[in-house]
């Protein structure tokens, strides 16, 4: 399957009475299947169960989730629409706690509705669909801009390493961390990408490896625990990951294991880069200690495909994310440029400049 034959990660089908269609990422790479989300509950479950995942894609999905959630009040009163909007955004906000893009998108949708207050339910719904489409389109532009800024940090012939999936499947276009690799590839730089498999849900093995293969980029899959050894062997010259939430001081929440990779990179003098849109910053949090970390079911670790791999009754600690302190991050690559060194001042300046 080539990149051109793969449908978009998620997109809206039809007009005001349309619906959200997305690739069920839990089935990849064995099966490429799209599912249709026609209710807010469908969207909530798709996010919760990681059928759609990746901070930017979660934001886009939530925005469209607001649209499907309001369709059945389009014929009623504005008061009913705003009451329902409140319900829908509150519910979608409970789907996953860590990626701030979710809350950012829901806030933006709520503010859009308020801006169009008084124009009638149908016009408000249309403005919301337009806004969701704008979020999707901005996400697309964001990916390209991150790629352009980030690829300059890489050189031809380098080995690079990434953790989890911050690629096309995590966004509406071709990713954040992977956008950097894709843009470098487009510039003719040959890279060799080491892909952390990313336990427990194997987003690296299932999704990142799949995306790299489709685009013809050389890649090698490794166990997460082998990343330090691969660095020690001199095979890696840069690490790039995505982010789910970045605090005001640059502390970055990302998939569990990212912190471990950052420590190993530091020990080997390898630059560790975070690629994420400005919507990933949460300036309301001074530092990473305030970022809520999603705890996921122990069965994700203790079982595989319904088959038990650990003794019954064993306790499991399964945080979905960890926090990498700003001091371990050489630069944050966002759509506005490269923030380096990673300090509160630099971040504030970059975000104000937009």
Does 264 engage in binding with a second copy (CB under 8 A)? Answer: yes
State in angstroms the smallest separation of the CB of 229 from a second copy. 4
Is residue 352 involved in binding a second copy (CB under 8 A)?
no
CA distance 239 to 162: 6
Q: How far is the CB of 236 from a second copy (least distance, A)?
A: 11
Strand-strand pairing, 281-282 and 245-247: parallel
The site map against a second copy for 85-124 (x = CB under 8 A) is ----------------------------------------
Residue 310 CB, shortest distance to a second copy, in Å, is 4
For a second copy, give the closer residue by CB, 173 or 322.
322
Distance from C-alpha of 169 to C-alpha of 23, rounded to nearest angstrom: 8
Q: Is 284 in the site for a second copy (CB under 8 A)?
A: no
Of the candidate spans 37-45, 133-141, 182-190, 317-325, the one that interacts with a second copy by CB under 8 A turns out to be: 317-325
- Count of beta carbons in the 10 Å neighbourhood of residue 353: 8
Catalytically active residues, by annotation: 244
Site string for a second copy, 21-40 (x = CB under 8 A): --------xx----------
Could you tell me which residues come within 8 angstroms of residue 89 by beta carbon, excluding any fewer than 6 positions away?
A: 66, 106, 109, 110
Instruction: Report the residue from 64, 103, 182, 210 that binds a second copy according to the rule CB under 8 A.
Output: 210
Q: Which residue, 328 or 333, has its beta carbon nearer to a second copy?
A: 328
Under the binding rule (CB under 8 A), the answer on residue 167 touching a second copy is: no
Taking CB under 8 A as the rule, does residue 188 contact a second copy?
Answer: no
Residues from 291 through 310 that contact a second copy (CB under 8 A) = 298, 301-302, 304-305, 307-310
Comparing CB distances to a second copy, the nearer of 141 and 309 is: 309
d(CA 27, CA 31): 5
Residue 280 CB contacts under 8 Å (≥ 6 apart), including other chains: 55, 56, 99, 100, 101, 243, 244, 245, 246, 334
Backbone φ/ψ region at 337: left (φ over 0), alpha (ψ -120 to 50), beta? left
Among 15, 118, 314, 345, binds a second copy (CB under 8 A): 314
- Under 8 Å CB-to-CB from 195, ≥6 apart: which residues? 161, 162, 204, 205, 208, 209, 212, 219, 220, 221, 222
Size of the site for a second copy (CB under 8 A): 58
């Amino acid at each position: 399957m080539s990149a051109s034959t793969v449908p978009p990660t998620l997109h809206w089908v039809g007009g005001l009475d349309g619906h959200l269609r997305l690739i069920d990422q839990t089935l990849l790479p064995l099966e490429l299947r799209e599912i249709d989300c026609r209710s807010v509950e469908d969207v909530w479950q798709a996010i919760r169960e990681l059928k759609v995942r990746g901070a930017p894609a979660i934001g886009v999905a939530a925005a469209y989730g607001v649209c499907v959630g309001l369709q059945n009040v389009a014929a009623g009163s504005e008061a009913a629409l705003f009451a329902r909007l409140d319900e829908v955004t509150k519910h979608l906000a409970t789907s996953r706690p860590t990626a701030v893009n979710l809350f950012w998108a829901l806030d933006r949708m709520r503010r859009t509705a308020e801006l169009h207050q008084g124009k009638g339910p149908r016009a408000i719904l249309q403005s919301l669909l337009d806004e969701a489409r704008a979020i999707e389109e901005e996400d697309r532009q964001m990916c390209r801009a991150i790629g352009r800024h980030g690829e300059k940090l890489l050189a031809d012939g380098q080995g690079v390493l990434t953790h989890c999936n911050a690629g096309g499947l995590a966004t509406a276009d071709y990713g954040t961390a992977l956008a950097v690799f894709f843009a470098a590839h487009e510039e003719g730089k040959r890279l060799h990408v080491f892909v952390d498999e990313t336990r427990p849900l194997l987003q690296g093995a299932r999704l990142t490896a799949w995306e790299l293969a489709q685009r013809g980029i050389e890649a090698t899959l490794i166990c997460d625990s082998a990343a330090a050894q691969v660095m020690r062997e001199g095979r890696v010259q840069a690490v790039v990951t995505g982010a789910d939430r970045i605090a005001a001081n640059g502390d970055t929440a990302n998939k569990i294991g990212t912190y471990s990779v950052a420590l190993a990179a530091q020990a080997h003098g390898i630059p560790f880069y975070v690629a994420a849109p400005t919507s990933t910053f949460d300036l309301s949090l001074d530092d990473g200690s305030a970022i809520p970390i999603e705890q996921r079911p122990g069965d994700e670790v203790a079982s595989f495909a319904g088959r038990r791999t650990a003794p019954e009754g064993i306790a499991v600690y399964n945080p979905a994310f960890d926090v990498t302190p700003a001091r371990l991050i050489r630069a944050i690559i966002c759509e506005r440029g490269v923030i380096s060194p990673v300090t509160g001042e630099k971040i504030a300046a970059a975000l104000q400049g937009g």
